[in-house]
Amino acid sequence: MPKLFNNSIILITGGTGSWGQELTKQLLTKYNPKEIRIYSRGELNQVEMKNKFNNQKLKFIIGDVRDKERLMASCRGVDYFFHLAALKHVTICEKHPEEAIKTNILGTQNAVFSALGNKVKKFIYVSTDKAVDPLNLYGITKACGEKIVTSANQIDNNTVFTCVRGGNVLGSNGSVIPLFRKQIETMNAITITDPKMTRFIFSLRDAIGLVIKACEMSVGGEIFVMKMPSLKITDLAEVMINELGDGNTKTKIIGIRPGEKIDEVLVSRYECDRVIDEGGFYIILPSIDIKAIRENYSKKRTSNIGEFTSKNTKIFSKQEIKEILKKYGFLNPDFKYTSLIGDLDKGQLDRIATKDKWLI
């Protein structure tokens, strides 16, 4: 059994979300931690997670990353800190920019200070493809978070600070796949913002695998990026209509949302000359000077990979999309929705898609 997290205390902000729960599951399955602290705002989600895991090693803490004192106290004795908490909905962040800034920027700053103040061994920040050449406020706040976390390596040698960039995860709370299924069942139609759109896609298990790999390998200042495939949204919609529709299911083009990109980017053209190819993933080295980076990567060759986007990676065929949907149960008759999507009726689905363009 790997020893990295054995007998250690781990803190996960936003720990009741899909990423946090999968991380908790893998930490309990593959390692033997002393304690995992789940830090989040929602008491109902904490109760549900506590009942689901039923493990005495889990300690649940109600708190907000905006509350620096609460976070600092919750970080006492922590060895490893995974910062997952964020406001993630693109449209909500556009409509409430001050709230996104308080949580995603100031909250990340609070998390970094808490880790420094408690001499945490390693701090892992989960970012997003939307932080690359950001077009929307959510992406801007996450890009700021990356800068805050990376620069923290210049402050103190006791804590290693590292970032992981993710893309769209199958089955996560923000996945479009269950929404498409619900739309077919309720509206007999799927709404697409732009038919040219492509999106990265990978499994939650693989996403958390990269997070743990980053914690194992990092020296401080790197950004870890998985070489993930992508799909065309129109192909996804066609496969789901063929598998779940009744022959009369339609596709509606509703126009692009504020802050939405046609293609996603995980490595920008400004970063591609600082990339180390590790086989299944990339490591982006920081633009600022960090001693540990110089010492540990001086003999590694960087490779100018060019911009890494959802348009120039491997794009799944329709048959591959169908196989993935089957593998993860999205085509099963007894598929279970989260309450976020499952409770919506036809009128609500139609309104959020065509009027508010508030797609989950």
Please state the pTM of the whole predicted model: 0.91
Q: How far apart are CA 293 and CA 305, in angstroms?
A: 20
Query: What are the φ/ψ torsions at residue 183 (nearest 5 degrees)?
Result: -65, -40
Instruction: Tell me how many domains the chain contains.
Output: 1
Higher pLDDT, 176 or 97: 97
Amino acid residing at 27: L
- pLDDT value of position 283: 96
**All residues at 6 or more sequence positions from 2 whose CB lies less than 8 Å from its CB, including other chains:** 30, 31
Residue 205 lies in a domain: yes
Q: Kindly state the average pLDDT of the residues 119-141.
A: 95
pLDDT score, position 305? 84
Model confidence over 93-109: pLDDT tens digits?
Answer: 988 999 999 999 999 99
Q: Give a yes or no: residue 239 inside a domain.
A: no
Q: Which residues contact 156 (CB under 8 A, 6 or more apart)?
A: 116
Q: Select from 66, 97, 86, 76 the least CA-distant residue to 17.
A: 86
Provide the strand spans (E) within the chain.
Answer: 9-13, 35-40, 58-62, 80-83, 122-128, 160-166, 169-170, 189-192, 198-200, 202-203, 223-226, 230-232, 250-253, 265-267, 275-277, 281-284, 308-309
Give the mean pLDDT of 188-215.
92
Residue 49 has pLDDT above 80, yes or no: yes
Between 254 and 47, residue with greater pLDDT: 47
**Any domain includes 139:** yes
316, part of any domain:
no
Nearest residue to 11 via CA among 52, 72, 87, 67:
72
Given the structure tokens 């899909």, which residue do they identify? Answer: 18
CATH of the domain at 86: 3.40.50.720
Question: Which of 88, 130, 182, 322 is the catalytic position?
Answer: 130
346 within a domain of the structure (yes/no): no
Its sign, for the CA torsion 240, 244, 248, 252, is negative
For residue 323 the two structure tokens come to 């196989």
Does a structural domain hold residue 258? no
Concatenated DSSP letters of 219-271: -SS-EEEE---EEEHHHHHHHHHHHH--S--EEEE--PPTT--SS-EEE-TTT
> What's the average model confidence in pLDDT over 120-126?
98
* Structural domain containing residue 44: 9-170+201-228+265-309
Measured CA to CA in angstroms, residue 191 lies from 15, 32, 62, 175, 255 at distances of: 31, 45, 37, 14, 9
The 10s digit of each residue's pLDDT in 271-315 is: 998 999 998 999 999 999 999 999 999 888 887 788 999 999 999
Establish if 286 belongs to a structural domain: yes
10 Å Cβ neighbour count for 267? Answer: 22
pLDDT of 293: 94
- Say which residue the tokens 């000359």 belong to: 273
Task: Answer yes or no: is 252 within a domain.
Answer: no
- Residue 142 a catalytic site member: no
Report d(CA 12, CA 204) in Å as an integer.
Answer: 16
